Amino acid sequence: MINYSTNREKYIVKPTIPDGTQVVNYNVVMNEEVIYVGKSRYFGGDYEVDCSDFIESYIAKQTGNVNSASVTVNFTFDDDPTVTAITCSWVPYVINLPEPAAQSPFVYLILTNCGFVMDGGVSVKVPLSFKNGLLDGKTINHLEKVNYIDKYGDSHNGSMTNNYELECYVDPCWLDVKTKDDFEYVKVALALQGSKKTALYGMGVGISGMSVDTSNAFYMEGKVKDIEQIETYSSYSTDKKVPSYKITFELYR
């Protein structure tokens, strides 16, 4: 997710190495814990350590939203005990869009550790379009049947599983999809694709083809499989279509 940065250099640390150094030792520290120890021969020129993978790994292991991460790389040269410490930090980018209100009815995708936060530093919540109490779009039920053949050569149905996919739309009244000037919609697309954990959260909104208790809040985890820019109707007009995103969301159930 941090690779969305246009400046990858900000996550690379480059120590100043004394003349005559033959061996560079370094250890990587996050949250006062050494997470990696390295050592290599030095043959001159620039020496650098890319911290982006360390930050990515740290974020991926967290269950909650991470709003900052810092890495300190401690270098020593040959047998000199003097330590050169260099720190680089990461913070998520900000999506300057209002957080959708959780007042019934509502339905949106919650994105955890997606490389972005909403304006105000809260988790990214992408509201989805719904009409007449139902989520816009359709439900695709993928049935997978496993057969087996017994010793007599007869085929039997061993098991059957079903995987749900939802085709839904970002609320076009919340997300203004343009082709110039305002690129918040690009950040939303990147956040949807880069989210480490994604959940469909709603209340008072039914889903066609699925049994959902609309009287209580529902929370279903999954992943965004595909995003496509389309045109759909806003809640203010049924005559003219406006641009938005169509999302294919796979449920983990």
What are the φ/ψ torsions at residue 114 (nearest 5 degrees)?
Answer: -110, 5
Domain match, 59 and 74 both: yes
Q: In what order do the strands lie in the sheet with 138-149?
A: 124-127, 106-112, 197-203, 218-233, 241-251, 155-169, 138-149
* Alpha helices per DSSP H over 126-223: 184-194
Domain match, 84 and 109 both: no
Element (H, E) at 40: strand 33-41
Last residue of a domain, one of 75, 90, 105: 90
Domain match, 85 and 19 both: yes
Last residue of a domain, one of 90, 111, 130: 90
- Residue 156: what pLDDT? 74
Q: How far apart are CA 238 and CA 162, in angstroms?
A: 35
Domain match, 170 and 220 both: yes
Domain match, 206 and 129 both: yes
Domain match, 101 and 82 both: no
Q: Are 204 and 106 in contact (CB under 8 A)?
A: yes
Residue 58 sits in a domain of what CATH number?
2.60.40
Domain boundaries, position 56: 2-90
Q: How far apart are CA 207 and CA 112, in angstroms?
A: 23
Residue 117 sits in a domain of what CATH number?
2.40.30
Q: How far apart are CA 204 and CA 202, in angstroms?
A: 7
Domain match, 102 and 86 both: no
Domain match, 80 and 32 both: yes
DSSP 10: G
pLDDT values of the chain reduced to their tens digit, one per residue, 253 residues: 666 666 777 889 999 999 999 999 999 999 888 999 989 999 988 899 999 889 988 888 888 889 899 999 999 999 889 999 999 999 998 998 888 887 889 999 999 999 899 987 788 999 999 988 899 999 888 777 777 787 777 777 766 667 889 999 999 888 888 755 568 888 999 999 989 999 999 999 989 888 888 888 999 999 999 999 888 887 777 778 888 899 999 998 6
Instruction: Tally DSSP H helices, then E strands, for the chain.
Output: 2, 17
- Residue 125: what pLDDT? 95
Q: Cα–Cα distances in Å, from 73 out to 34, 46, 174, 198?
A: 9, 16, 42, 32
Domain match, 55 and 163 both: no
Domain match, 152 and 184 both: yes
* Overall number of domains in the chain: 2
Domain match, 61 and 171 both: no
Last residue of a domain, one of 64, 90, 116: 90
Domain match, 24 and 147 both: no
DSSP 63: S
